[in-house]
Structure 1
Amino acid sequence: MIEDFLEHVLGGRTTEVEEAVRKAAAAEIMPHFRQLAAHEVLEKSGPHDLVTVADRAAEAHLTASLTALLPGSVVVGEEAVAEDPAVYEALRGDAPVWIVDPVDGTRQFVNGDPAFCTLVALAVRGELLASWTFAPALEEMAIAVRGHGATLNGRPIRSGSPAPGEVLELATSHPDYTTPDQKRALLGLQVDGVAPRPCGSAGLEYLAVARGALSGTVFSWEYAWDHAAGLLLVAEAGGAQTTIAGEPFRITGGNALPFTAARDAATAERIRRLLGGA
């Protein structure tokens, strides 16, 4: 059923979605890159949770363009949910959902670091169908379509498997975003042969896994806009993901955390066990 829906919904429109993402970035994000005034950067829940005029304008732009491409669809965007948490419930409904993070890596964006991206994923009834990861300052566009693989700037990518004995380089949640139990789980990564570090833009960390440049990610929060695009990208590149409970991560929420996405299933399982998974 999902495959039939995929063909019906997308049917050659991946290029149109790509163009919509590129246009939003060109019109609403890049003019503010390294040009932000102090009053154009605000805190939401605290100093680690920033929003800029670019985030809000890009999400509004994408909301209009994406729903026009697919009548009857809805958008679950980071900034819309910040204004009205009930918007998130659309992930559990029957309408096709565009999951949008207009600027993933807002702190990097604010600091003038080019390592930020726009994330868009299309899902229906909790199933991911396609995703777009666009880093405009790096000129990188990664696209994944369920059952059809992953590409970066038009070329297929594969995550591959770490070489035997290779140190596992992992991007992990910052301690500020973890509960005491999650902190204890992350301590399991402090072993020989594993090199954890705090993550940057979640979307670009997932892209690094998908292209085989990073062993895996370990995250302790589950907002769909941070993970949906990247999880499909990793899966279509040949990677794997699992929660600490050994279950697939659900974009609709209610997951056992932390969870991992990795270059292959064996690596994902190794990470899960290091985190204390049974």
Structure 2
Amino acid sequence: MIQDIETIDEFLAHRTADVEEAVRTAAATEIMPRFRQLAAHEIDEKSGPHDLVTDADRKAEEYLTEALVKLLPGSVVVGEEAVHANPATYEAIKGEAPVWIVDPVDGTRQFVHGDPGFCTLVALAHRGVVLASWTYAAARDQLAVAVRGKGALLDGEPLRAGSPAPGRDLEVATSHPDYTTDDQKRALLGLWTEGVGPRACGSAGLEYLAVARGELDATAFSWEAAWDHAAGILLVEEAGGAHLTLAGEPFRITGGNTLPFTAARDAATARRVVGLLSGGA
């Protein structure tokens, strides 16, 4: 089993293109052939009508699980659909082995409805630290890659989040009310104030990409499933952004965060959003 960070660094120095190929292949073989072609029997509900899973989710995760472990022997995979089947597998995020965190189709609801606003998310983490991430919007053929300490790229071009222009409303993508507790709803209400323009979020991975591109000022999310956030958190960080929980601490993929939390184009915006959330809590 791989134990030391130097070995993983060596992997990241030489094999990120192989991960990219695996992500693209999963999308090309298991996701895109089903896009706008899904039959009713290929769609199921998990916890309710807003929580869907399709054959594309399952098959893409199966492909990535096999491919990623083969690329990095000794690693393990925490995938959204595998965790749904066996919640105990989520604990691998806190373990000693390098862990691939996979959301095969982030934005399944959009995918089911024929909307191109979905993506595949893969992150590589070790001992609770996200080291690299891949965000692939297959319907748009856009790939964002981030490596800790090495920056972030979109289709090979550097990503810089920048800072919001002064004097205009902050655009913040927020959690859907169906996925919030009463306390979190009250916190999120703090965003409904002068100088802020909150809106419902779509695919979390694409919202993070929008922050990293400087197209969205911040997010305000109320759940902490690592497959939704690990890839995007690193992407925003490496583009110059920041993330904070309601407790004023960076978001941890291992859990136990005080929610809601934000990822923003810069540290000042992150602090401002958390201040608004704290005022609503």
TM-score band by shorter chain is over 0.9
Matching residue of 2:38: 36
Matching residue of 1:116: 118
Cα distance in 2 for residues equivalent to 1:18 and 1:93: 25
Matching residue of 2:137: 135
Distance apart, 1:71 and its partner CA: 0.2
What are the within-5 Å matches in structure 2 for residues 13-28 of structure 1? Answer: 13-28=15-30
TM-score by length of 1: 0.98
Residue 118 of structure 1 aligns with an amino acid whose one-letter code is: T
Alignment partner of 1:148 out of 150, 153, 162:
150
Residue 12 of structure 1 aligns with an amino acid whose one-letter code is: H
Q: Deviations over 1:43-78 (max 9, x none)?
A: 001111000000000000000000000000000000
Instruction: Classify the secondary structure of the residue corresponding to 1:71.
Output: coil
Q: Which runs of 5+ in 2 are unaligned?
A: none
Cα distance in 2 for residues equivalent to 1:131 and 1:276: 30
Identity of aligned residues (%): 73
Q: Deviations over 1:189-218 (max 9, x none)?
A: 011110011100000000000000000000
**Runs (4+) of structure 1 moved beyond 6 Å?**
none
What are the within-5 Å matches in structure 2 for residues 69-88 of structure 1? Answer: 69-88=71-90
Matching residue of 2:211: 209
Residue 54 of structure 1 aligns with an amino acid whose one-letter code is: A
Cα distance in 2 for residues equivalent to 1:137 and 1:48: 21
Cα distance in 2 for residues equivalent to 1:146 and 1:97: 15
Instruction: Classify the secondary structure of the residue corresponding to 1:220.
Output: coil
Cα distance in 2 for residues equivalent to 1:145 and 1:27: 26
Residue 8 of structure 1 aligns with an amino acid whose one-letter code is: E
Distance apart, 1:31 and its partner CA: 0.4
Cα distance in 2 for residues equivalent to 1:125 and 1:9: 16
1:263 aligns with 2:239: no
**CA distance change for structure 1 residues 168 and 2 in 2, over 3 Å: closer, same or farther?**
farther
Q: Which runs of 5+ in 1 are unaligned?
A: none
Cα distance in 2 for residues equivalent to 1:261 and 1:44: 27
Cα distance in 2 for residues equivalent to 1:207 and 1:10: 21
Instruction: Classify the secondary structure of the residue corresponding to 2:278.
Output: coil
Instruction: Classify the secondary structure of the residue corresponding to 1:255.
Output: coil
1:178 aligns with 2:180: yes
What are the within-5 Å matches in structure 2 for residues 188-207 of structure 1? Answer: 188-207=190-209
Distance apart, 1:148 and its partner CA: 0.2
Instruction: Classify the secondary structure of the residue corresponding to 1:188.
Output: helix
Cα distance in 2 for residues equivalent to 1:142 and 1:19: 13
Q: Deviations over 1:6-47 (max 9, x none)?
A: 422322111000000000000000000000001110000111
Matching residue of 1:248: 250
Cα distance in 2 for residues equivalent to 1:99 and 1:76: 5
